[in-house]
Amino acid sequence: VLELLHLVGLWEDCPISKKVGREVADCFLQINEAMESSGIANLKVYSLFYLLLYNLQEQNHISANMLSQQEIWVRKACVYIYHNSNLPITVKDVAKAIDLNANYLSGLFKKVIGITIKDYITQNRMICAKDLLRKSDYKIKEVAKYVGYNDPVNFVKAFKKQVGKTPEEYRR
């Protein structure tokens, strides 16, 4: 659950009430359980939850009243990355989508989240890839394509580096 919350820019020290944070976490747990029990391997569902969280933030005026402009940009970048994780996006693509300079966004992302934006994109793709490997029988090249890698060899290398196993080993 924390992994999913981090993908949309929510983390333990996020300035939202503990009650709201607990409710969001409980919601994610229930959704995750439902998805696992029904065997759904559909990233669209995850995408809708990220959109829900983003809209929740906007509705509660968290972005406008409690977050710095830098945190707002990083959260928008996180949402963009998630919604486009099936594309071979770059830092420049993300920066353009939120009207920032790529170098500025890179530094800002590292400052706010603690990892580079490239690493964040890769982690997001690997979370999606692990889900697909667990819940589907897609070929490795299909999983690679689905998570934004045009070259399956590059996907396997990135997966092994990030997860510590090849996709085939992970699936077993």
Give tens-digit pLDDT for 40-76. Answer: 445 556 555 666 666 666 555 544 455 678 888 888 8
Q: What's the start-to-end Cα distance of the chain, in Å?
A: 23
Backbone angles phi, psi at 136, to 5 degrees: -140, 170
Give tens-digit pLDDT for 2-51. Answer: 555 555 455 444 434 344 455 555 566 666 665 665 544 455 565 556 66
Cα distances (Å, whole numbers) of residue 82 to 38, 45, 121, 135, 165: 23, 12, 8, 19, 23
The encoded tokens of residue 5 equal 């919350």
Give tens-digit pLDDT for 122-158. Answer: 888 888 899 899 888 899 999 999 998 999 999 999 9
CA-CA distance, 74 to 95, in Å (whole number)? 10
Structure pTM? Answer: 0.63
pLDDT at 103: 95
> How many CB atoms sit inside 10 A of residue 156's CB?
18
CB burial of 66-89 (b: ≥16 within 10 Å; e: otherwise) equals ebeeebbbbbbbbbbbbbbbeeeb
Contacts of 95 (CB under 8 A, 6+ apart): 77, 101, 102, 104, 105
Q: For residues 74 and 63, is the Cβ–Cβ distance under 8 A?
A: no
Give tens-digit pLDDT for 137-147. Answer: 899 999 999 99
pLDDT at 102: 94
The encoded tokens of residue 21 equal 């944070």
